[in-house]
Amino acid sequence: MSGTEAKPLVLITGATGYIGRRLTHHLLPDDRYKLRLFVRNQRKIQAAVAESVEVYEGSTFEPETLAPALQDVDTAFYLIHSMGSDEDYQKLDIQSADNFRQACIAAGVRRIVYLGGLGNRESASKHLLSRIETGETLSAEPGKISTIWFRAGVIVGSGSASFEIVRNLCHKLPFMLTPRWVRTKTEAVGIEDVLAYLEQAIELPTEQSLIVDIGSGEITFHEMITKAAKVMGLRRFLVPVPVLSPKISSYWLILFTSVPIRVASSLVEGLKSETVRENDNARIHFPTIEPISYTDSVAHAEHELEQNQIISRWCDSSSQEACDIKDFDNPAGAVLRDIRVVDYKNQASQDSVFQSVCALGGPNGWFRYNFLWRLRGIMDKLSGGYGLSRGRRDKVELRVGDALDFWKVVDIKPGKRLLLYAQMKVPGEAWLEFDVQTDQLIQTAHFIPHGLLGRLYWYSVLPIHHLVFSNLARTVVKASDNFTSS
């Protein structure tokens, strides 16, 4: 495209949902397109995103809001469903898709791209049937508009409901009684591959409408659990039982995961019959995409969880409301946290509090409950860890990569953030974060527990954490008197 040519305008609906949010972040850095979001409530859009795209508020049930949002649009992504509403969502979904297709045709949109679910009419659950009917409605006028209709099974990515179920079951249950449906075949696909298909659909050189089934190979829910457990370093035993009704299975899922009953039952219902690929269009029309294996997508999701929820969740904001990275994926219960907030308005400066944070550890110690830190260090040493013996490289300065007793410095934003990663022996992964805002210190201990033991560990040390962490945050602020603002 020449520099003078206008960039194609791409509209993303459902941009506050799981797939839409991920697609927005995926396309945002791509300067081949101009992005526009269509959402019901623009306050749900992250501040940093809203600054870089056009946002139109409306609903597919209010066609008058669709017309302006679709003006000049080249490709429109339809990533909407009505499952959460109390009314008959099947009817609503058809109405919504019908309004959308008609509005797209009227506005001269070149292409609709839709992501639905795998399955066929004969055996589909109510939820999957509604996804099929949505696809049929969107592609009902192929002579007037091209529709690329993707169909996926289980999408593996941190924050995706079905993957969070697998993750929670693996972590919390060493033994699982499994019903028959865990042997039903489905398809899994990594979220990154889904995004690659959606992106390539914009420029797919065809005038026609297509149904494209995507996945990385057939897999059962049983295999998903055992393979995911292996990636997570856990051994899990699945014991089949002849009777476990779908209803009981759904209650079982909501007991051990925090997905709502509606999501749990639609997953179980969906797994009662096979949902596998029925066409080879992904390979034919998207030959450059080689979906990664289920195992690799689980490993990727685990890495992403750590990255998004802890390492890069911080943002440079003066008030926590504006910090919108932390809820990027919101995976259920994956990260346990101890959060302490100490206000220091008019008592200390941001700079001196940060200096106080950076003086922790080594010969300077960890304040009042030093003996508990020392005890933890001895326990760590006895179990083969570093203990507190490493101290710190320099009495004043800290750098990324520095050892700090049994921590390692993994991020420093001068004057604002210090993130420490625990190198002590714990059944999971732990971080300690100091987020120095203009008038408050937010100290967070993050813990990604490893299996059941990790959770037991976290809950058993809660009383100690209560003493140590509340004192630590308060004393860091108090000790800032010893430092002067630069």
Ligand X SMILES: NC(=O)c1ccc[n+]([C@@H]2O[C@H](COP(=O)([O-])OP(=O)(O)OC[C@H]3O[C@@H](n4cnc5c(N)ncnc54)[C@H](OP(=O)(O)O)[C@@H]3O)[C@@H](O)[C@H]2O)c1
Binding residues for ligand X, per CB under 6 A?
13-14, 16-20, 40-41, 44, 59-61, 79-82, 96, 115-117, 131, 152, 155, 160-162
The answer to whether 132 touches 90, Cβ cutoff 8 Å, is no
Nearest-approach distance from CB 206 to ligand X, in angstroms:
22
Burial class (CB in 10 A: 0-12, 13-18, 19+), 241: exposed
Work out how close the CB of 91 gets to ligand X at its nearest, in angstroms, rounded to a whole number: 13
Return the SS3 of 61.
Answer: coil
Sort residue 179 into left (φ over 0), alpha (ψ -120 to 50) or beta. beta
* Residue closer to ligand X, measured from CB, 96 or 350: 96
432/402 Cα distance (integer angstroms): 14
Q: Report DSSP state, residue 181.
A: G
**What region, left, alpha or beta, does residue 118 occupy, with left being phi > 0 and alpha being psi -120 to 50 degrees?**
beta
Which one, 213 or 402, has the nearer CB to ligand X?
213
Give the residue with the Cβ less far from ligand X, 17 or 365: 17
CB-hemisphere CA count at 13 Å for 349? 9
Minimum separation from the CB atom of position 139 to ligand X (A): 14
Q: Kindly state the smallest distance separating residue 437's Cβ from ligand X, in Å.
A: 28
Q: Could you report how far apart the first and last alpha carbons of the chain are, in Å? A: 50
Supply the minimum distance, in Å, between the C-beta of residue 360 and ligand X: 40
- Report the 10 Å Cβ neighbour count for 48: 13
C-beta of 16 vs 349, nearer to ligand X: 16
Nearer to ligand X, 117 or 387 (CB): 117
Least Cβ distance, residue 212 to ligand X (angstroms): 13
Strand partners, 170: none
> Two tokens at 425?
């022996």
Map tokens 């809660």 to a residue.
462
Burial class (CB in 10 A: 0-12, 13-18, 19+), 71: middle
Q: How far is the CB of 323 from ligand X (least distance, A)?
A: 20
Nearer to ligand X, 155 or 419 (CB): 155
Task: Report which of 474, 163, 452, 477 is spatially closest to residue 301, judged by C-alpha positions.
Answer: 163
Q: Which is nearer to ligand X, 80 or 357 (CB)?
A: 80
Q: Which residue is nearest to ligand X (CB)?
A: 17
